[in-house]
Amino acid sequence: MRPLLITVGSRGDVQPYLALAVGLLDAGHRPILAAPRRFAPLAAARGVEFVPLNDEMLALQDKLQGQGVRVAITAARSVKPMLRRLLDDEAGLTALGADVVVYHPKSLGGPYVAEKLGVPALAGLLLPLYLPTAAFASPLLPVRVPRVLNRPSWRVSSAVEGPYRGMIRAWRAGELGLHDGFRSVADLVEAGGVLHAWSPHLLPAPADWPADARPTGFWTLPADDWTPPERLARFLDDGDPPIYVGFGSSFSGDPEALTATVLEAVRLSGRRAVLATGWGALRAGAEPDGVLVIEEAPHEWLLPRVAMAVHHGGIGTVAAALRAGVPQVVRPFLGDQPFWAGRLHHLGVAPAPVPGRRLTPVALASAIEAAAALAPAAHVLAAKARAEGGIATAVTRISNAV
């Protein structure tokens, strides 16, 4: 089988697809991973065939960090041309041939590449996005709604795609030669063909979803032989397991203030901490006693070695912390992060989330202390999550779709 996997976005969007590609490779298939070009070394290290896609959007995000609202508004004018160049790269994928396409919705063109090839298409979703349910509102909704509005709230996913629909339609006709029968990604997913790549222990399928929409389990990249820098290894060995604090690709707008809040909360808690600066939510600076500042480290390696994880609620970090068996404290920023924070609190492995408007040193220190008492529940949930075969389940479903 020759599966084509298409994903776009940050490392959190790419790494699960790389994990799936490794699983397909191990099962004897010949996967191709198409992703932003900056992730080529990750694929090469795992022996996965890789096709680079335009990554101007990631470069733009890097450039805009800390530049202010006015600069961001000006830069927004260049987004559509960038997305069109991304779609043109995806049109080139049709020359490769494939038996099935698994695509991230951020790719915009994934299902239409499959349509051109005449092969099945499966949306690989890292969060609930397109299948409506009455059980809960769309995770993208920024406010809570009455339960009666849960199912209608799922229209927000179509609204997100809406501004680009005309461009996608024109590209589909002009570059792929597909002039009739256009359907949105939301319509295509509702019609069938989805892989939900999270643990059913984190979020089980609602009763009103079809059987083939049941979550597969996380798509987790097998641990490699990563060697930590000497200063990180020494810090971990020199005392009790520290707190991990990292906000991934989130950006706070005032990294100095957020860093100061975190450091004071760590001091108040009386614990040690490793701070990962990531894409800029935290700012490197002086290291107080008992604190180590790093840029990043593989979550699958680091989180099993810490006492708890304080993070933004991105599903990649949620999955890694859940599998590591550590309690979590979530300061959500945007998108689906408040949704996952609520799920973790509901499951008893995290205290109530601490949104930005309530984030003070005292509030964060209190959340850290509350999280420490949840370690037994985190250990129980981790054992269940580690027993899942998310990638094996996904490989089987992909094979059955061909």
* Cβ 119 vs Cβ 99: under 8 Å: yes
173 confidence band (pLDDT: 50, 70, 90): very high
pLDDT tens digits along 46-87:
999 999 999 888 877 766 555 444 444 445 567 888 999 999
3-196 matches 230-386 in fold: yes
* Cβ 385 vs Cβ 322: under 8 Å: yes
pLDDT tens digits along 343-375:
999 999 999 999 888 899 999 999 999 999 999
* Cβ 102 vs Cβ 3: under 8 Å: yes
Q: Domain extents for the chain? A: 3-196, 230-386
- Quick one: average pLDDT of 319-332? 96
Helix (H, G, I), strand (E, B) or coil at 256: helix
* Cβ 277 vs Cβ 312: under 8 Å: no
192 confidence band (pLDDT: 50, 70, 90): confident
Q: What Å distances lie between residue 42 and 31, 130, 192, 336, CA to CA? A: 15, 29, 31, 26
DSSP element (H, E) containing 122 = strand 121-125
Mean pLDDT across the chain, nearest whole number? 91
Q: How far apart are CA 22 and CA 40, in angstroms?
A: 14
* Cβ 199 vs Cβ 390: under 8 Å: yes
pLDDT at 281: 72
What are the residues whose beta carbons fall under 8 Å from the beta carbon of 229, sequence distance 6 or more?
294
Q: What's the CATH fold of domain 3-196?
A: Rossmann fold (3.40.50)
pLDDT at 185: 86
Percentage, residues of the chain above pLDDT 70: 94
Q: How far apart are CA 398 and CA 178, in angstroms?
A: 25
Q: Token pair for residue 389?
A: 């075969």
**Domain 230-386 sits in which CATH superfamily?**
Glycogen Phosphorylase B; (3.40.50.2000)
Given the structure tokens 């733009």, which residue do they identify? 60
pLDDT at 71: 44
Bridge partner residues of 196 (DSSP)? 125
